[in-house]
Amino acid sequence: MLQERDFIELDYTGTTEGTVFDTTSMKVAKEHGLPDKGLKPAVVCLGEFGIITALAKELIGKEPGKDYTITLQDAFGKKSAAAIRMIPASAFRRDKVVPQPGMQITVDGQMGTIMTARGGRFMVDFNHPLASRIVSYQVKVNKVLSEPSQKVKVVIEHALGTEIPAVEMDGETARVVLPVDLPKELHGPLEAKAKELCGVSAVTFTKVEKKEEKVEKKSADGKETGTA
């Protein structure tokens, strides 16, 4: 049975009123006109990150390898009148945006949808587009990740928002191999999170070493010389 903080790989498709709004399936995305580039099964830590909290809670206690249909009410929150605001047209001119009803915009870091225009001001709904709606997920948990190296890799990739080359284990110490130098300020927080979730005692970070290619060149006298 799945437990909170389990690391799992899963496939899912989310729908509301018969319309697909999210999926890990390239085939489903193509069939419903959604972006399909780079789609693959999701790897998440239940109750921590990767999927919405309401869905994670429903998966706890379920069995891996089975298909489930999970229906949720208010999974994306309830609509709030306080989240609907009037925004002056000057705010859009400043950002060189030509606002239109239905357009999604970002104001002060918040994503919203323009509803109407009234006398130089625009009504913008900052509620989540799926707020107060019933959503349904078709879910299959493909597998549970058990290796500490796999878990650490998932934690670091989620935190950095990019894939990393590898995680190598030396006893209970995880050696994270990165494509670039990681700022020292991030070492502590990332190590703490990996230790908390992955069962490791320490985490180190190292930049991947690029292999230098040996190039054969001919000297002036015609002899071959090797340079690194």
Q: In 71-147, where does DSSP find H-type helix?
A: 89-94
Q: Helix or strand or coil: residue 83?
A: helix
CA distances from residue 63 to 45, 58, 67, 142 in whole angstroms, order as listed: 15, 11, 9, 10
Q: In the chain, where does DSSP find H-type helix?
A: 26-31, 53-59, 89-94, 148-160, 184-198
> What is the model's pLDDT at position 84?
94
Residue at 37: amino acid letter:
K
> What pLDDT digit, counting tens, does each position of 107-166 carry?
888 899 999 988 789 999 999 999 999 999 999 999 999 999 999 999 999 999 999 999
Q: What is the pTM of this model?
A: 0.80
Distance, CA of 186 to CA of 191 (rounded, Å): 8
Strand partners, 137: 14, 70
Distance, CA of 7 to CA of 50 (rounded, Å): 10
First-to-final CA distance of the chain:
54
> What is the model's pLDDT at position 120?
83
> What pLDDT digit, counting tens, does each position of 60-96 carry?
999 999 999 999 999 999 999 999 999 988 888 777 7
Domains of the chain from N-terminus onward = 1-78+129-145 (3.10.50.40), 81-125 (2.40.10.330), 147-208 (3.30.70.1770)
Q: Which helix (H) or strand (E) holds 125?
A: strand 121-125
